[in-house]
Chain A
Amino acid sequence: MSNVPAGLKYSKEHEWVKMDGAVAVIGITDHAQGALGDIVFVELPKVGKVVEYMKPAGVVESVKAASDIYSPLTGKIIAVNDGLTKSPEQINQDCYGTGWIFKLEPTKPAELANLLDDKAYTAFLSK
């Protein structure tokens, strides 16, 4: 059973969103990091880049394969977790905390309603 904290929003591509005031903090879920296995490299998006709802915003490389990270919201990226360059395994070890991937300012906050809460995401995982 994977960890699905309350208070976050979730996408069907296994990203999580935490609203920190007007800033959205984004990462991938416990289910995703477990399915990927050991993460060895993260291709972070560039600060300043505008990303679109459910379009690829970066790449996570595990030992065996590369996987796209989709942005669960439209907006401009204002920060990326540079610590992942040296320690990509943070995503495996603490995916909701030190394993955060990027932060953005959402330009279409209504999109939050498209995302799942913890109960709906948990139900989605058990399908």
Chain B
Amino acid sequence: MPVANRTALYDTHIALGAKVIDFGGWDMPVDYPTHIIQEHNATRTAAGLFDTGHMGELLVEGDNALESLQAIVTRDLAGMEDGQGRYTLLTTGEGTVIDDLIIFKQPGNNYYIVTNAGTREGDAAHIRSHLMKGVTLTDLLPETHKLDLQGPKTWEILEKLCKTPLRKLKRFRMINADVAGIPSIVSRSGYTGETCGVELFFPKNDAVKMWNALMDAGKPLGLLPCGLGARDTLRLECCLPLYGHELSLQITPLEAGLDWAVSLEKKFIGAVALRRQKQDGVPRALVALKLGRQPARADTPVFSGDKNVGIVTSGTFGPSVGYAIALALVETASSAVGTNLELEVRGNRLPATVVEKPFYKSPKA
């Protein structure tokens, strides 16, 4: 059994009393003594600081970088301005998902790719095997750390540490900025559904310095360190997919409702299969289910009467909405908003209703 990876902040989390779990081969904090609900609520009303140093950063460079990437991702990457990012999927020949990524255009012919933690190495191998001549891929993780700062107080906290007017940064845009004296890349993006929030990319050696600077600046404003537990309740309330649950090698982006991230007219690995799936009618759909107070977890079977029509992909309690929530992959015939379904938990049938996505919408800044 290989030893799990740890980010540069592992000792910091232990000192804060974090409960550590394995996530994709990484020892990560699931929560701190504040626990999930308080961390979740802090992110929605003040701010949350998340160690996401386990996620991947890959740099693709070269004259044919764009063409190489266009051939393997679902989204059309043409015409991006420097600093602009787009959410896309990396797919197999069957149109199923290898990973979901955000790809940022950088000056020149450079593309900065943010990947999930457990999939980084597979993504790098896949991308490498499809690069045209003269195009290189560099794994930036050995020298890079990432932190996510999310919530309404994000700008107020950063203004104490950064002279660049980050408040003006648009969604999915990244710029260079010195934060706490550390040369960083700041992108307005994240995984909480919050209107205000950033991902900070900076040298790994400065991880502890950056963490401490953000906590010192943010604590008086209500900033809390937040673990993967709150990260999951926050993203699920906003119906953001999690690779390994809503996306996998058994699910297509069309089934996951990510049509907007797929340019079917473009030529890419999996395009033919996805066009055929669209033509034949997508057989399954990812739905948002509103439950009562009792949660239903991933792999819970979904019933319509006596018929098993699907499976829960993620489920938890939503602290901002006050009820249990789930995403489920069900046959298309059972996916209309308003459909009443049942989830079988420990031999009991729990009622659930298909509702509009998202469960929670962050107020506009």
Contacts and interface: CB of A to CB of B under 8 A. Distances in A.
A1 interface: no
B36 A37 contact: yes
B295 A37 contact: no
A60 to B, nearest CB: 11
Interface in A28-55: 35, 37-38, 40-41, 43
B317 A65 contact: no
A37 B229 contact: yes
B233 interface: yes
Interface in B306-340: 316-317, 319, 324
Contact of B293 (A35, A37, A41, A63): A41
B35 interface: yes
A92 to B, nearest CB: 8
Contacts of A65: 297
Contact of A61 (B36, B295, B319): B295
A4 interface: no
B31 interface: yes
Given A63-B37, A64-B316, A37 B294 contact: no
A37 B35 contact: yes
B324 A40 contact: yes
A59 interface: yes
B346 interface: yes
Contacts of A66: 297, 346
B293 A40 contact: yes
B89 to A, nearest CB: 27
Interface in A54-91: 59, 61, 63-66, 85, 88
B254 interface: no
Contact of B35 (A38, A61, A85, A88): A38
Contacts of A63: 36-37, 229, 233, 295, 316-317, 319
A65 B346 CA distance: 13
A104 to B, nearest CB: 21
B30 interface: yes
Contacts of B316: 63-64
A43 B292 CA distance: 13
A66 B297 CA distance: 9
Contacts of B319: 63
A85 B293 CA distance: 9
Contacts, number: 44
Contact of B295 (A35, A40, A85): A40
A41 B294 CA distance: 6
Contacts of B38: 38
B230 to A, nearest CB: 9
A38 B30 contact: no
Contact of A64 (B30, B324, B346): B30
Contacts of A59: 346
Interface string B295-308: 10100000000000
Interface in A1-39: 35, 37-38
A123 B317 CA distance: 34
A38 B36 contact: yes
Nearest to A36: B35
B293 A64 contact: no
A66 B317 CA distance: 12
Contacts of B297: 65-66
Interface string B222-242: 000000010011000000000
Contacts of B346: 43, 59, 66
A99 to B, nearest CB: 15
A126 B36 CA distance: 25
Nearest to A89: B37
Nearest to A37: B35
Contacts of A61: 294-295, 317
A7 B30 CA distance: 34
Interface of B: 19, 30-31, 35-38, 229, 232-233, 293-295, 297, 316-317, 319, 324, 346
Given A37-B229, A43-B294, A63-B233, 12 more contacts: A37-B31, A37-B35, A38-B37, A40-B324, A41-B324, A59-B346, A61-B294, A61-B295, A63-B37, A64-B30, A64-B36, A64-B232
